[in-house]
Structure 1
């Protein structure tokens, strides 16, 4: 609705009635045109182009998938892998992730699991081994460790350990000949084969340690007497 400007007319000298106000046209407001800013336009075009390039890169990454080997059922440490334990999946694989390619599936069948494998995980080359975790001439000794005896460093298959005989206070250490031993601390070298998770409630961790066959019975006797402690060796014996 346009606004009008009223114009007032005074009465004439002869007494004639005054005329009604006459409406006159009002000039429309002058609108100034905005100046175009070339810099803003150029920046907008650059942002649009960058956004399009980012979408293109994302689509390329999503489309770049690699067929890899996956684990489809639980596999215990030392268990021989079969084709039924493994599957295939196509995933967008980060270069930093080492995974067995689907083309190499048959190369891992028949090898042993070096760690516990869980369904839904990718299989990496370091998780399998062609060597038996318990070698000929060795025995496997299960050792239960209380929460205060478990090292803060997570136990993993292959770690070298020392089984230390710690007799109860006042007890005498017995040597291989059945006679009292002067050695205060007798040790047995071993290697971790598997370490369980802490048992609910007790927190006890069971560690399977491989020792030479001659030391297996002795280590088992120490465990039964509650006189054994497990000590981790430094990596590579250093």
Structure 2
């Protein structure tokens, strides 16, 4: 009985001590950004059926894929967190909107934030928008740049393809303010 108990304990200790190398995130990777080798690190975990991390042996196949969500340091990388779809997706356009400090919230915009692009009065309305009633456009933040020497901060946003030209024309004229939409 003692020998069986010792063998059982030894087996349990060895099986619990076995770990597998998996991919973990080394630094922040915003939604929509391409994964690089510097973003990935090896982590060792015990097998758990509730977890589905990508094995470290597949690291080279992951590099170059796109983050489908914001990835945080220390988290394990799963297939659901990746996509091969580059931005902009079909039916969308990527537009840079230059805004002054009074045209966007003081709260930091993060990739994936839902925002409204609101037309503002001032100056002449761009040719693309002449004769059309200004309308609010729904958008998603891709990236926010640092303030330039002109005081403007460029915010890259995804909009529906039908809204892209009008948003670009208004943005070029400085006629857009950004409003953050409450998360769901």
Does TM, normalized by the shorter one, top 0.5? Answer: yes
Q: CA deviation at 1:154?
A: 2.4
Corresponding residue for residue 74 of structure 2 = 122
Corresponding residue for residue 189 of structure 1 = 138
Q: CA deviation at 1:234?
A: 2.0
Conserved in 2, the CA contact under 8 Å of 1:67 and 1:101? no
> Residue by residue, what CA displacement relative to the aligned partner does 1:96-120 show, whole Å, maximum 9, x if unpaired?
xxx98573673881531357879xx
Corresponding residue for residue 88 of structure 2 = 134
Q: CA deviation at 1:149?
A: 2.6
> Residue by residue, what CA displacement relative to the aligned partner does 1:168-227 show, whole Å, maximum 9, x if unpaired?
16x568775x43x4x4x422221112223x337666432111111121111111011111
Conserved in 2, the CA contact under 8 Å of 1:134 and 1:210? yes
Query: After the TM superposition, which residues 133-172 of structure 1 pair with which residues of structure 2 at under 5 Å, given as runs?
Result: 133-168=87-122, 171=124
Moved over 6 A (4+): 72-76, 115-118
Runs of 5+ unmatched residues, structure 2: 1-16, 46-50
Q: Distance in 1 between matches of 2:95 and 2:159?
A: 7
Q: 1:66 to 1:149 in 2, by over 3 A?
A: farther
Q: Distance in 2 between matches of 1:200 and 1:228?
A: 17
Alignment size in residue pairs = 159
Corresponding residue for residue 6 of structure 2 = none
Q: TM-score, normalised by structure 2?
A: 0.61
Q: Distance in 2 between matches of 1:135 and 1:230?
A: 22
Q: Which has the larger radius of gyration?
A: 1
**Please, what is the CA RMSD of the aligned residues?**
4.2
Corresponding residue for residue 6 of structure 1 = none
Conserved in 2, the CA contact under 8 Å of 1:68 and 1:88? yes
Q: Distance in 2 between matches of 1:102 and 1:216?
A: 37
Confirm or deny that 1:209 pairs with 2:140.
no
Q: Distance in 1 between matches of 2:148 and 2:127?
A: 35
Q: CA deviation at 1:152?
A: 3.1
Q: 1:195 to 1:205 in 2, by over 3 A?
A: same
- Higher RCO by CA contacts (8 Å cutoff, separation 6 or greater): 2
Confirm or deny that 1:106 pairs with 2:54.
no
Confirm or deny that 1:88 pairs with 2:42.
yes
Q: Distance in 2 between matches of 1:151 and 1:75?
A: 23
Conserved in 2, the CA contact under 8 Å of 1:140 and 1:209? yes
Q: Distance in 2 between matches of 1:195 and 1:66?
A: 37
